[in-house]
Chains A and B, each alone.
Chain A
Amino acid sequence: MAADFDKSCHALQKPKVETYCGLVFGTFAENMPTLSDYFGPEMCGNIQRLLGRDMELLERFQHGLDGNWKLYMENVRDTYHASLLHSFMTTFRLGRLSMKGAVEVSKGGLHHLTYSIRSQDNDQGQYDAKEIRASKDDYTLNSPELLESWPEFECGTTLAIQSLFPNFSIQQLSNVITLRLIVPKGPHKSELTWWVLGAREDTPEQRAIRIRQSNLVGPGGYIAMEDGAVVGWVRRGVTGADDKKSVLAMGGRDVERISESRCNELAVRGFWQGWHGLMES
């Protein structure tokens, strides 16, 4: 080695690493705030609720997607598509369309949380009006035990979808708890890693319920497989229209922090406003 070669000037780039509820986050940004400041109190509350206990890994796999990573993160934040795209629940008459819930967006719009509570229908009229979407003939499941669940959380939350900017998502669907990390593989390809988790405190019955219910999520999941496909459909739909745009502005232009209605675009708007802010700075 040359005498004047200074190894400290040629070291590997060191990320800043911080752990939160067992999750390890890294960044190359030098002036990054701490994780709890970056996420904000609302986002931290949900992470602690789901993962602030001893967890167990039940499965991990990779899922190739045929589109840009932002299309998937937009899908995660979109509250409309579930009843339109994932017709498993409505076809088999398994879910109420109206449930108590809210959308929360972190300050600046970067992160979001959508949640709902199944057993408290707050608007029977809204459900009846949508009855047409919930009644495709008379399909029933041979093995409805697929959807057996137990009330795991005191707050009653049965669905929670959270995105943490830029590329991470934590989701609770009944008793299935998953982590998803999306990594770009070029402008038109991305790859999702899924982790399905249980809690060490689970009884054998609760563990069995989680394992059975996990049929709902992942690339073969009854109410998730369409998300794998729709990323590619959107990519193909917009290819060749780079100079064109179309805008939907349900619920205005701002990014309110909390909305009791989940029928809005707060979280999507928050993502894009946050993303543009960062890309321009």
Chain B
Amino acid sequence: MPDNAFPPKTDAALLHRIDTLNRRYGHVIDEDQLEDWPTFFTEDARYMITTRQNHEANMPVGLILCENRGMMEDRVSALRVANLFEPHSYRHLIDPPIVTEQNETEISVQTSFACFRTVQASAPEIFCTGKYLDRIIDDGQVLRLTERIVVCDSERIDTLIVIPL
């Protein structure tokens, strides 16, 4: 059996909870409830958007890099009050998650996604496809991301990226 197959012991209920987390995550971004976006993360969580090439070459810099929740909140407030850009929205399509590793404190998860971008009156376009590489903490009640690395398949970003993926 190849290494990247589903670990046999992943519990269906846990998979469902992770899937729900991802769907809610996509929902708050697509519905412009961005102030809720940082609440999916632990206080000291790391959020990074990078590209497949940079990720595979272990490049440390991201297109966006937040080293804690405060930096995520700053991203949202800058988007609201400071940065200038044409109004646009995303539509996330998020695959069911694959648990790649699990121990007592953390769950490692990989999930494919596609994100369409619609700029004002233009037709929707594929803005980004890629995968989420997550480390998730389960306190028994709530699942929180302690790391989400967004790995974009292409090394090319069109125009700008201001809304998180």
Contacts and interface: CB of A to CB of B under 8 A. Distances in A.
Contacts of A214: 61-62, 65
Interface string B50-62: 1101100001111
SS of A interface (majority):
mixed
A219 B127 CA distance: 13
B86 interface: yes
Which bucket holds chain B's interface residue count?
35 or more
Interface in B12-66: 49-51, 53-54, 59-65
Interface in B79-93: 81-86
Nearest to A227: B160
Nearest to B67: A212
B158 interface: yes
Contacts, number: 112
A68 to B, nearest CB: 15
Contacts of A207: 60
B95 interface: no
B157 interface: yes
B156 interface: yes
A104 interface: no
A85 interface: yes
A225 B62 contact: no
A64 B158 contact: yes
B48 to A, nearest CB: 10
Given A66-B159, A146-B71, A222 B49 contact: no
Given A228-B160, A232-B159, A58 B85 contact: no
Given A88-B78, A142-B70, A60 B54 contact: yes
B74 interface: yes
Contact of A57 (B59, B64, B160): B59
A218 B54 CA distance: 14
Which bucket holds chain A's interface residue count?
35 or more
Given A62-B155, A64-B157, 19 more contacts: A59-B50, A59-B54, A61-B53, A62-B154, A63-B156, A63-B157, A64-B158, A64-B159, A88-B83, A137-B81, A139-B82, A142-B70, A146-B71, A196-B61, A210-B61, A214-B62, A215-B64, A219-B157, A219-B159
Interface of B: 49-51, 53-54, 59-65, 67-68, 70-71, 73-74, 77-78, 81-86, 154-162
Interface of A: 57-66, 85, 87-88, 91-92, 136-137, 139, 141-143, 146, 191, 196, 207, 210-212, 214-215, 218-220, 222, 225-226, 228-229, 232
18 contacts: A58-B60, A59-B59, A60-B53, A60-B155, A61-B53, A62-B157, A64-B157, A64-B158, A65-B159, A92-B78, A139-B81, A142-B73, A211-B61, A212-B67, A215-B64, A215-B71, A226-B84, A229-B159
